[in-house]
Structure 1
Amino acid sequence: MTAKKLTRSTQDKWLGGVCGGIAAYFGWDATLVRLVALVAVLVTLPVSVVAYIVAWVIMPQEPATPWQTGTDAPSGPVQ
């Protein structure tokens, strides 16, 4: 069993992948997390923007899957 790790999403992202990563970590819907983040921005603009930027900087990006890196593509010419 692998330990669950909070990472920025590479597939479910709009800006930096922070909301997608939080949603994946807790098993929530990413749209719900984005709506909560939007309300937070509207209510506490400077605090929430700084918090998002800090999360963007400190959260590691999730590892790339083979299809993102292109390692599963055929190596020869296509015929």
Structure 2
Amino acid sequence: MDNKIRKSQTDRSITGVCGGIAEYFGIPSLFVRLIFIFLPANILVYIILANTMPDSPQGL
């Protein structure tokens, strides 16, 4: 099974980064979003992840 971290196609608020991280670790996306809210460099980390994480295939 190919278990790579990818942007979510179904759980998207802006670009699907938090949803993709949540799907990879099997946790609710609300927890990931709360971590990003309280992370000191949240905007910079989110922008980097949004540009480097691949999109999830349409069939998944």
TM-score (norm 1): 0.70
Unaligned regions of 5+ residues in structure 2, if any? none
Residue 25 (structure 2) aligns with = 26
Give the structure with higher Rg (CA).
1
Q: Partner of 2:37 in structure 1?
A: 38
The AA in structure 2 aligned to 1:3 is D
Q: How far apart in 2 are the matches of 1:48 and 1:12?
A: 19
Residue ranges of structure 1 left out of the alignment (5+ in a row): 67-79
1:2-45 per-position Cα deviation (integer Å, ceiling 9, x unaligned)? 120100001101011000000000111111111111112xxx2x
**Aligned pairs, how many?**
60
1:52 to 46, 53, 56: 46
